[in-house]
Structure 1
Amino acid sequence: MTYRIIDTSPLEAVAKPLIDGLQWEYATRYRDHRADSEASAAQELARYPAALFAPPEGAFIVLVRDGETVGGGAFKRYDARTAEFKRVWTRADQRRQGLARRIVEELEARALSQGYRRVYLTTGFKQPEAWGLYIDSGYVPLFDRSIAPEVHVRLPFAKDLRKPFSTDALDDLRPREPPGEHR
């Protein structure tokens, strides 16, 4: 099967399956933890203007197979040297084929070419597949792993793109608030 990476915007039709898929995923995974999980998921996906995911400070990509969007992801500026990954997703029937890793690698390459040295991201406590992907891809957990994930709510990870697996340049990205608090 042939896959193509397309640079786009969350406002384009090719991105709609990614946005819709993420909204469904967030709503269903967190249904037991949020009173109105569908509204909460929609609000999360609308939280950032599309312009934040456009070059030169951001990127939004989709992975297309046979004319269908089957994955994608994005980043925006976190600070002058750090990209913040958002919206990394693979369609359920396309998982466990290395596509999410390919999306992460494509985003990392774009972040490096746009001058970023590090990546910061958060994922939810009900997304263990994402934790595994990020850890296997060299991301450092920035939370206390001895505490139950649901206490943290959002699980932050980071990676030094120039020195993978190094933690020297990541300390300022560690959360300052107690577990369960988030911005």
Structure 2
Amino acid sequence: MIRALRYSDPVVRALEDELQQEYIERYGGQDNSPVSPDEFGPPEGLFLVGFVGNEPVATGGFRRHADGVAEIKRMYVAHDHRGGGHARRLLAELETRAAAAGYQRIVLETGDRQPEAITLYASSGYSPADPFGYHAEEELSRFFTKDISLTATA
């Protein structure tokens, strides 16, 4: 089950803490890119949490990047639940909801020390994009984009 929650919700904050620990392990520090909880509020944004029973296991959200373009942020799956398709389901739901909110394209950034994320995005129809935002100048960052204009009607 996937539910929309506020970015400030304690469930989201706990998974965000796990995600930041993952960044420390993989990159040596937290991701300090600017994120405001209000950016993930409707109508221009949304934050989703995937559950197995009552246990929250996956997160991700979108926020406005530019006219017609949403940015996906904070995709994460808890260690004990990786490999179960949670990230793929959450990504598909984010795309559907972003298209329903009027976005035609999605952009996102991940790092090259997250090969499983790169594989997920590439296998989900994302293609390399020009650098943007907070991490635009970082060597380890990888940028992707996908046209979702047909998602809302598919």
Q: What corresponds to 1:95 in structure 2?
A: 82
CA distance in 2: counterparts of 1:96 and 1:10, whole angstroms: 25
| Pair 1:65–1:157, CA change in 2 (3 A) | same
Secondary structure of the residue aligned to 2:7 is coil
Which amino acid is 2:9 matched to? E
1:68 alignment counterpart: 55
What's the CA shift for 1:42? 5.8
CA distance in 1, matches of 2:94, 2:10: 20
For residues 97-176 of structure 1, the aligned pairs below 5 Å read 97-142=84-129, 152-162=139-149
Contact 2:4 2:48 in 1 (8 A): yes
Cα distance in structure 2, aligned partners of 1:51 and 1:96: 31
Matched, 1:5 2:14: no
2:15 to 18, 30, 34: 18
Candidates 26, 43, 51, aligned match of 1:56: 43
Alpha-carbon distance in 2 for matches of 1:117, 1:26: 30
Cα distance between partner residues in 1 of 2:149 and 2:39: 24
8 Å CA contact 1:74, 1:87 repeated in 2: yes
Counterpart amino acid of residue 117 in structure 2: A
Q: What is the Cα deviation at residue 117 of structure 1?
A: 0.4
- Which amino acid is 1:83 matched to? A
- Tell me the TM-score normalized by structure 1: 0.74
| RMSD, matched Cα | 1.8
Pairwise CA distance, 1:162: 2.8
Q: Deviation per CA, 1:43-99: give whole Å up to 9, x if none.
A: 34xx21100011100010001122221001001001111000000111111111111
Q: Is the 8 A contact 2:103 2:149 kept in 1?
A: no
Letter in 2 for 1:80: D
Structure with the bigger RCO (C-alpha within 8 Å, sep 6+) is 2
Unaligned segments of structure 1, at least 5 residues: 32-36, 144-150, 165-183
2: CA distance between counterparts of 1:67 and 1:17? Answer: 14
Hey, what does 1:85 align to over in structure 2?
A: 72
Q: CA deviation at 1:6?
A: 1.1
1:153 CA displacement? 2.1
Structure 1 residue runs of 4 or more that deviate by more than 3 Å after TM superposition: none
Q: Secondary structure at the match of 2:142?
A: strand
Instruction: Give aligned pairs, total.
Output: 145
